Each structure stands twice: as structure tokens, then as C-alpha cells.
A = this chain, B = another copy of it.
Amino acid sequence: MSRGQLKVSYGIGEFSKIVDISIDTLRYYEKEKLIVPERDKSNRRSYTDRDIKWLNFIKRLKKTGMPIKNIKYYAKLRYQGDETIDERLKLLYDQRHRLEADQIELQTHINFLDAKIETYHQIKHNLQKQKSIEASSN
């Protein structure tokens, strides 16, 4: 605020639409301490622009297959401030390594499927031959 950024805030409904996550899920994430918004005078959740970025990051991490437990740990570090940056970096590096491993595994699965597909084509081919033999023996 001291830097003059106009601080906009959003109610849960509006925020839900912006980040495309259901209201119930947002409240669930809050229970899990992934994102803990401020409250206004009448106890309603008040999300900020920063929360939008944070939630999009969470969505990313989720899509990389990171379980909520881990994201939660990341969130905890984040809410603790700058002195946890190294720890957060470590988490990010770990996840990156995991994804690299996933990449390799994925390739082996694709190769496997290709092999399987090939054998099926073989089987089809053999069945075809079978049929033509039957046909010629009539």
C-alpha cells in the first residue's frame, strides 16, 4: 500500500469466478491453509490481486501432481516470509526433478503402448491370413 498499488479486494463469489475454482473448494483450501484471506468487518473473506497470483500458482503445482500436503508446506513457508526462500527453492527443485523422472517414465509408457499396438496389428494381420486360407479352401 505504501507503494501506491490500488488494493482491490474480491468477495469469495467473484474470486471464485476469477480463478475458476468453486467456492466450496476455496473454503476447503482455506481449511487446509493453502490460502488464508483476510476478513472484512462482517467476517466475509476478502481476496486480493496477490491471492489471484498465488492461487494460480497453486493450480499449477496441483497440475504437476503435487499433493495438497506439499503445497500446504510451501504455503506455510510463504506465509513465513523471505527467510524461507531457500527452503521454497528446494521444494521447487525437488518437484522439478520429479517431473523430469515423470517425463522419462511417460516415454517408456508410450514406447510400451506402441509395442502393444504393433503386436495387435500383427494379430490382425494373422487373422486376415487365416481368413483368406479358409476362403481358398472352400
Within 8 A of B (CB), among A48-70: 57, 60, 63-64
Chain B residues, CB < 8 A from A120: 85, 88-89, 92
Chain B residues, CB < 8 A from A109: 60, 63-64, 99
Residue from the list B57, B63, B116 in contact with A105, Cβ < 8 A: B63
The answer to whether B100 and A103 touch across the interface, beta carbons within 8 angstroms, is no
Expressed in whole angstroms, the Cα–Cα distance for A123 and B83 within the complex equals 11
Expressed in whole angstroms, the Cα–Cα distance for A87 and B67 within the complex equals 35
Chain B residues, CB < 8 A from A124: 85-86, 89
Interface of A, helix, strand, loop or mixed by DSSP: helix
Q: How many chain A residues have a CB neighbour from B under 8 Å? A: 32
Contact string against B for A residues 4-26, beta-carbon threshold 8 Å, 1 for contact and 0 otherwise? 00000000000000000000000
Expressed in whole angstroms, the Cα–Cα distance for A121 and B96 within the complex equals 15
The answer to whether A102 and B106 touch across the interface, beta carbons within 8 angstroms, is yes
Within 8 A of B (CB), among A70-129: 82, 85-86, 88-89, 92-93, 95-96, 99-100, 102-103, 105-107, 109-110, 112-114, 116-117, 120-121, 123-124, 127
